[in-house]
Amino acid sequence: MPIDLRAARLQQEAFVLLRRGDNAGALKALAQADRLEPDTHAYVFRADQAGLRAITLLLEGREREALLEARRGAALDHTNRNARQVLATTALNAGQVDDADVQVDSLLLFDPGNAAGLRLRQAIAAARGGR
CATH number reported for the structural domain that contains residue 119 in this entry: 1.25.40.10
- Kindly list the distances between the CA atom of residue 52 and the CA atoms of 57, 62, 113, 122, in Å, as whole numbers in the listed order: 9, 14, 19, 23
Segment 4-24, tens digit of pLDDT: 999 999 999 999 999 999 999
Segment 72-128, tens digit of pLDDT: 999 999 999 999 999 999 999 999 999 999 999 999 999 999 999 999 999 999 999
CB atoms closer than 10 angstroms to residue 101: 19
CA 46/CA 30 separation, integer angstroms = 10
Q: Looking at the 3D structure of the chain, how many domains does it have?
A: 1
pTM score: 0.93
Domain hosting residue 64, numbered range? 5-127
